[in-house]
Homo-oligomer: A and B are copies of this chain.
Amino acid sequence: MRLSFPQCHFVLSARWLLAFCLYLCVPIAMAAADPLPSWTEGASRQAIVDFVRQVTTPDSADFVAPDERIAVFDNDGTLWSEKPAYFQLLFAIDRIRQLAPQHPEWKTTQPFKAVLDNDMGALADSGEKGLLQLVMASHAGMTTTEFEQIVGDWLMTARHPRFKRPYTELVYQPMLELLNYLRANGFKTFIVSGGGIEFMRPWTQAVYGIPPEQVIGSSIKVKFELRDGEPVLLRLPEIDFIDDKAGKPVGIHRFIGRQPVAAFGNSDGDLQMLQWTAAGEGRSFVMVVHHTDADREYAYDRTSHIGKLDKALDEADRRGWTVVDMKRDWKVIYPFEPPDSE
A162 at the interface (CB under 8 A from B): no
Q: How many residues of A contact B (CB 8 A)?
A: 49
Q: Are A276 and B8 in contact (CB under 8 A)?
A: no
In the complex, which residues of chain B have a beta carbon less than 8 angstroms from the beta carbon of A226? 275
A302 at the interface (CB under 8 A from B): no
Give the distance to chain B from A27, nearest Cβ to Cβ, in Å. 10
Q: Are B197 and A222 in contact (CB under 8 A)?
A: no
Chain B residue with the shortest CB-CB distance to A18: B5
Q: Are A253 and B29 in contact (CB under 8 A)?
A: no
* Assembly CA distance A247 to B3 (angstroms): 57
In the complex, which residues of chain B have a beta carbon less than 8 angstroms from the beta carbon of A124? none
In the complex, which residues of chain B have a beta carbon less than 8 angstroms from the beta carbon of A17? 3
A316 at the interface (CB under 8 A from B): no
In the complex, which residues of chain B have a beta carbon less than 8 angstroms from the beta carbon of A161? none
**Cβ contacts A192-215/B at 8 Å (1 or 0 each):** 000001100100010000011111
Chain B residue with the shortest CB-CB distance to A4: B21
In the complex, which residues of chain B have a beta carbon less than 8 angstroms from the beta carbon of A24? 8, 10
A256 at the interface (CB under 8 A from B): yes
Q: Are A222 and B201 in contact (CB under 8 A)?
A: no
Chain B residue with the shortest CB-CB distance to A232: B279
Q: Are A224 and B205 in contact (CB under 8 A)?
A: no
Give the distance to chain B from A298, nearest Cβ to Cβ, in Å. 29
Q: Are A253 and B233 in contact (CB under 8 A)?
A: yes
- Which of B18, B230, B257 meets A279, CB within 8 Å? B230
Give the distance to chain B from A258, nearest Cβ to Cβ, in Å. 6
Q: Are B28 and A231 in contact (CB under 8 A)?
A: no
Given contacts A224-B250, A249-B231, A272-B224, contact A256 B212 (CB under 8 A): yes
Chain B residue with the shortest CB-CB distance to A68: B211
Chain B residue with the shortest CB-CB distance to A280: B231
In the complex, which residues of chain B have a beta carbon less than 8 angstroms from the beta carbon of A231? 249, 272, 275-276, 279
* Assembly CA distance A184 to B137 (angstroms): 44
In the complex, which residues of chain B have a beta carbon less than 8 angstroms from the beta carbon of A249? 224, 231, 233
* Assembly CA distance A317 to B256 (angstroms): 36
* Assembly CA distance A258 to B212 (angstroms): 7
* Assembly CA distance A18 to B24 (angstroms): 17
Chain A to chain B: the 9 pairs with minimum beta-carbon distance, closest first: A212-B257, A224-B246, A8-B25, A201-B257, A213-B256, A224-B249, A231-B279, A231-B275, A231-B276
